[in-house]
Amino acid sequence: MMEHLQFAEFIYEQPAVGEIEYIFKHALTQEVAYNSVLIERRKLLHERIAITIEELFAAQIEDHLGELARHYARSANARKSVDYALLAGRQAAQRSAYAEAIAYLNAGLESLSTLPGDLDRDRQELDLQIASDGARPALASPHPVSALIPNPPSTNRTSADRPAPGTSEQLFRVLDGLRWFYSWKGDLESGLKLDEEMLELAVRRQDPVSEAIALVDRGIDRYVVGEFASARDDLERVLILPDAPLRSLDAPYSSSPSVIALSFLSWIRWTLGYPCEALKTSEMALSAARQQSRPLPLVVALYFAGELHWFLRDPHSARHYAEEALSLSGRQGYGLELARSTILRGWALVAQGNPEAGLAETFAGLAAYDATGASMFESAAMAADACLIAGRTNQGLEIVARAFKLGWGSGDHFFAEPLHRRLKGELLLRRDPSAAPEAERCFREAIAVASRQKAKSWELGATISLARLLRGTNRRDEARTMLAEIYNWFTEGFDTADLKEAKVLLEELNA
């Protein structure tokens, strides 16, 4: 029969080790042949194939999880379909193939919907939803909160006689997913409340890995609300806990708590006024990420290193890290990191004297970021900075205005408040020198917030802007006094751009 089909050119022989293999000559032929088999017969064949794979490859079953998931999904055995969908989805997530992981997990949820409601079914649904939710942030596709919550009790029994479906580990994963959703949307107050619940649960379970993840989450959220010292303390605690990958491999951004902690610590140490410490910390994050087999922590470390060099006004290094992050993000399909790295590379190109190409990339990255639905935070400021350098002041002011409209500018309780206010002042002044009074107000507000936050590097940048403005309006003494005070606070990093500019400006003011 096979020879007859081969002679008729429906199939051809495939070179293989051992037994002969055949393959369809055209995909359309295969599709027609497949669809000609009656549905019930097809389901039976898929199940028989899956059972045979299980028997033949029992010792290497992990090498065949994807095949088993596909065959059982097309069979009548829904329970096996769910089991293998979860295993294959987690395995794909472990390889950072997140789109593939979501496809398996969605197939599992579809099979699950055919099963009767009971406790095991609810627990399986939680596992599938949690795994799916964990894969989505990397693809810039956050799961709605409702999808993390199991279906309500079936109508054939009351909620009183139905036990809670989740384990404590499942609960931790759900809390982590909810926290990601709130952070994604910029609802940091809700995120911080969930951070506390997660940390309490992790400590109660005596699970150092979960504790590390909870501390990372709280440290990030504290950073974003401008509580830099508290954020530093949380993230430094992570570094003394055991650094092990998540057992369930459900949360890509938590796959290496130490890499994430070090990456954020590099920003925090720069913000608090220690640029040399920040650079060393960034190098540690990159080194730790390169030693791992998973690409997402490396992409995160690369982007953070690039943005740190934006803070440091070093476009050459920023572009280097952005391009490596772009290449890796593009291959892996990481939507959020791809958008952020595009904006970063655009800024670097503008700063290196190529405004047209740089702004085109910046705006493309901004549109891609906006499409994810995530809160943009510092990426919007980076785009506004690119507009400032390129002289596109109206567009820069529109970006900053949108940031304030979205509620990002909220006084002391937003990490980039001083940056946004300084940028607004610089853009106003660049567009129209007669706007000096409004620009001065922006600079003074930026200095005041940065001072209360103890954000010394933001304070230095805003003070440089104000000192330049005061120098041009015959208030040199005031400019010299305030600039000398913040400059003299620093103990390191005197070869970085802001401190070198401050030194030159002080020398001019002292002349």
Q: Are residues 286 and 222 in the same domain?
A: no
Residues 192 and 212 both lie in one domain: yes
Would you state the structure tokens that stand for residue 11, as one six-digit string? 């199939």
| Confidence at residue 469, expressed as pLDDT on a 0 to 100 scale | 96
Res 281 pLDDT > 70: yes
Q: Does residue 269 register a pLDDT over 50?
A: yes
Task: Enter the DSSP assignment of 304.
Answer: H
Q: At what angle do helices 208-224 and 257-271 cross, to 10 degrees?
A: 30
Q: Locate tokens 């751009």: which residue?
A: 497
Strand 11-14 relative to strand 21-24: parallel, antiparallel, unpaired? antiparallel
Task: Report yes or no on 53 lying in a domain.
Answer: yes
For residues 264 and 241, state if they share a domain.
no
Taking the C-alpha atoms of residue 290 and residue 384, their distance in angstroms, rounded to an integer, is 32
105's tokens: 């997990």
pLDDT of residue 500 exceeding 60: yes
pLDDT value at 304 more than 50 = yes
Residues 247 and 275 in one domain: no
Host domain of residue 226 = 167-251
Same domain, 222 and 284: no
Is 267 found in the same domain as 363? yes
Q: Is position 408 within any domain?
A: no
Is 410 contained in some domain?
no
In a domain, 399, yes or no: no
Instruction: Answer with the one of 251, 278, 298 that is the final residue of a domain.
Output: 251
Of 251, 277, 296, the residue at which a domain comes to its end is 251
Beta bridge partners of 12: 23
Q: What is the pLDDT of residues 56-82, one digit of tens each?
A: 999 989 889 999 999 999 999 999 999
Q: Is the pLDDT of residue 242 over 90?
A: no
Whether 165 and 171 have beta carbons less than 8 Å apart is answered as no
pLDDT at 161 (0 to 100): 37
Whether residue 287 sits in one domain with residue 238: no
What's the CA dihedral at 379, 381, 385, 387 to 10 degrees?
80
In this prediction, residue 135 carries a pLDDT of 59
Q: Is residue 15 part of a domain?
A: no
> Does residue 303 form part of some domain?
yes
Q: Which of 224, 251, 278 is the last residue of a domain?
A: 251
Q: How far is CA 352 from CA 309, 317, 355, 390, in A?
A: 13, 11, 8, 11
Of the chain, the percentage scoring pLDDT greater than 70 comes to: 86
- Confidence category of residue 148, pLDDT binned at 50, 70, 90: very low
On whether residue 455 sits in a domain, the answer given is yes
Residues 275 and 370 in one domain: yes
Task: Give bridge partners of residue 234 from the DSSP assignment.
Answer: none
Q: What is the per-residue pLDDT across 198-207, written as a single tens digit (0 to 9) for each?
A: 999 989 988 8
CATH number of the domain that 477 lies in?
Answer: 1.25.40.10
- pLDDT of 188: 77
Residue 408: band (very low, low, confident or very high) from pLDDT cuts 50, 70, 90: low
Helices (H) and strands (E) in the chain, counts: 24, 2
Please report which helix (H) or strand (E) contains residue 11, including its range. Answer: strand 11-14
Q: Answer whether residue 132 shows pLDDT above 60.
A: yes
CA proximity to 242, closest of 191, 189, 206:
206
CA atoms 442, 446, 449, 452: torsion sign: negative
Distance, CA of 94 to CA of 398 (rounded, Å): 41
Q: Does one domain contain both 64 and 77?
A: yes
Do residues 284 and 363 both lie within one domain?
yes
Q: Other CB atoms closer than 10 Å to residue 441's CB: what's the count?
A: 14
245 lies in the same domain as 260: no
- Output the pLDDT for position 170: 74
* Share of residues in the chain with pLDDT > 90 (%): 53
Asked if residue 93 is part of any domain, the answer here is: yes
Residue 407 confidence (pLDDT) above 80:
no
What does the pLDDT look like over 429-457, one tens digit per residue?
999 999 999 999 999 999 999 999 999 99
Instruction: Select the more confidently predicted residue: 242 or 426.
Output: 426
Answer whether residue 232 shows pLDDT above 70. Answer: yes
Based on the structure, what is the number of domains in the chain?
Answer: 4
pLDDT higher for 162 or 14?
A: 14
The pLDDT mean for the chain works out to 85
What DSSP designation does 491 have?
-
**369 and 260 assigned to the same domain:** yes
- Cα(138)–Cα(210) distance, integer angstroms: 20
Residue 416 has pLDDT above 50, yes or no: yes
Question: What average pLDDT does range 5-15 have in this prediction?
Answer: 88
Cα angle 331, 334, 337; round to 5: 115
Phi, psi of 11 (to 5 degrees): -135, 165
List pLDDT tens digits, range 334-382: 888 888 999 999 999 999 999 999 999 999 999 988 877 666 667 889 9
